[in-house]
Chain A
Amino acid sequence: MKTDSYTVTLDDDPIVSAIVERFVGLPTLAFSSGQALLKRAPSLAHPFGIFVDIHLGISESGLDLVPALRELWPQSPVIVVTASRVEETIAKALAAGAHDFVRKPLSRAEVNARLRVRRAELLARAARDELIVGDLRFDRVKRQIERVGQQCGVVRYLSTTAASLLLCLASAPGSVVSKDELRAKIWGRISVSENAVRKKIFEVRVALRDVSEAVAIETVYGGGVRLTILNEPKEEE
């Protein structure tokens, strides 16, 4: 299934899957146990949304899976489905990381409203947290870089300083940033040696080389460094 072209339901009652499918208007991939879902999930594209029942069996709770599902599919809202009228249940669901909840009996208007609002929020947040430069996706919050469009490709995690350095360069690709400017922006008033700056640039350079074919740090002799994007016209100096 393609990204966003389906929803996932985790419920021991098969009718929930049928109802969600009709309400949302997308095919539903139904699971009745958390184990089955977690086994299959890594090979699946991001679903449009995930509906998780709290009570899956005598000893299984859907809430236990919420953190793993959020990690696997960060752009898919996790909506908890519950027949409970107890507020504490809802509080537990939200504390477990669910983006929202719907109560049984399900209503078409409520399911769609909650799903679409939460999804729009997640997409907006992702757009704020992410910076796309050339073929590179840089997640500023996770300090993670990866190639655009490669869901299971190479991922590199940057140290806080390396991430700040990349952010500084990626904010204006092609612009030369002097080492003094880098020092001021990244380390502030902390005194840093030339060698330390060079090492940090090297660290980012290696990470970029691991994940990207088009984005690299270029040294401009006597000037500083800049982020270059191959196959993109350079501005005249």
Chain B
Amino acid sequence: MAAQRLLDLDGVRERLDNEDELVAELARHFIERAPGQLAAVEAAVERADAKALEFAAHSFKSTLAIFGAFPAVAIAQALEDLGHAGKVDGAAVKFTDLATLARQLEREIVSTILEQMR
């Protein structure tokens, strides 16, 4: 089975009516916001704070969803669900996967959107 794409750029452009300026604005927003959101998820996992994990994962999921980053969205959703159930078991492993994907996503957004706009 083919691996899911890191981000769905065609889908993003379609939802935004191919408005390049808005796509770039969202890309800049992602680059600014994602590290802080990821750090909030990490902090919640380290503190074993399920409630904070639910909220932080949900917030990050919203940002990831803007780019149709489905593999990362799925992990963020799993972390949110864990937090919602009041649990943090296995959250550290999921967080590591999420952080890896988020870094790849950041690089891809820079190379496929922001550098193209220059």
Q: Which residues of A contact B (CB under 8 A)?
A: 12-15, 18-19, 22, 55, 57-58, 83, 85, 104-108
CB distance from A52 to the nearest CB of B (A): 14
Are B12 and A105 interface neighbours, CB within 8 A?
yes
Residues of B within 8 A of A18 (CB): 25, 29
Contact with A along B54-72 (1 / 0, CB 8 A): 0100110111011110000
A-B contact pairs, 27 of them (CB 8 A): A12-B59, A13-B59, A14-B29, A15-B26, A15-B33, A15-B66, A18-B25, A19-B22, A19-B26, A22-B22, A55-B55, A55-B58, A57-B55, A58-B51, A58-B55, A83-B61, A83-B62, A83-B65, A105-B12, A105-B66, A105-B68, A106-B15, A107-B14, A107-B15, A108-B15, A108-B16, A108-B17
Query: Interface size for chain B: under 10, 10 to 19, 20 to 34, or 35 or more residues?
Result: 20 to 34
Q: Is the interface of B mostly helix, strand, loop or mixed?
A: helix
Residues of B within 8 A of A19 (CB): 22, 26
Cα A62 to Cα B73 with chains together (Å): 22
Cα A85 to Cα B65 with chains together (Å): 11
Per the 8 Å Cβ criterion, residues 2-53 of B in contact with A are: 11-12, 14-17, 19, 22, 25-26, 29, 33, 51-52
